[in-house]
Amino acid sequence: MKGVASERFKCEFPFTGEYTIVKHYERRRAVIYSVRKVITTMYYSRYLMCVAYQRVLDSNECVHHIDEDKTNDDINNLQVLSIGEHTNIHHPKLPEVNLTCPNCSKLFSIAAPSYLRRTKLGYTIYCSKNCSIEMRNTSSKGIPKRIPLMLGTRVSIKN
Ligand SMILES: [Zn+2]
Ligand SMILES: [Zn+2]
């Protein structure tokens, strides 16, 4: 974003500057002018919250559309959240399953949906690609491929 950092726009309302429609998302962006030049541009929703708070929002503050319709810039539909809170709303963290690697005994965790998918297919889950390759190599050296592994069991290679 180009602009003069020291120059701060006034959070005036109604907004006397210009805003444009962003083609793809139909979201309005406010173009903030000083006397002659553009200071900054931002989403109109963000601009409205600057007005409501009477301050310029920090870069770690996000404006969230409560009904998730990003074209609905009604002030009652807007909410200021931290980046973390905002990410959580749009990308809720998947529940995780804690496992012990059957090859190296390392503790690790994977997302529950991935765990379910892989165990359904009968896959043994390793902490890493390396461990899975190591185990595959072990299997091809005479040890039956489908070893009923107890989680956390270390398998020793017998020659
Ligand atoms: Zn949001
Ligand atoms: Zn491992």
Per-residue confidence (pLDDT) for residue 155, from 0 to 100:
43
d(CA 100, CA 38): 56
d(CA 62, CA 75): 14
- Distance (Å) from CA 96 to ligand 1 centroid: 24
- Domain-ending residue, one of 75, 90, 105: 90
- Domain-ending residue, one of 32, 64, 90: 90
For 120, residues 6+ apart whose C-beta sits below 8 A from its C-beta are: none
Nearest listed ligand to the Cα of residue 79: 1
Task: Say if residue 62 is exposed, middle or buried (CB neighbours under 10 Å; 0-12, 13-18, 19+).
Answer: buried
The reply to whether 34 and 53 lie within a common domain is yes
Look at residue 57 and tell me whether its pLDDT is greater than 60: yes
- Domain-ending residue, one of 90, 105, 138: 90
Per-residue confidence (pLDDT) for residue 41, from 0 to 100:
77
Nearest listed ligand to the Cα of residue 64: 1
146 vs 77 pLDDT, higher one: 77
Tokens for 56? 């310029």
Residue range of the domain that includes 33:
18-90
Look at residue 24 and tell me whether its pLDDT is greater than 70: no
135 vs 13 pLDDT, higher one: 135
The reply to whether 115 and 156 lie within a common domain is yes
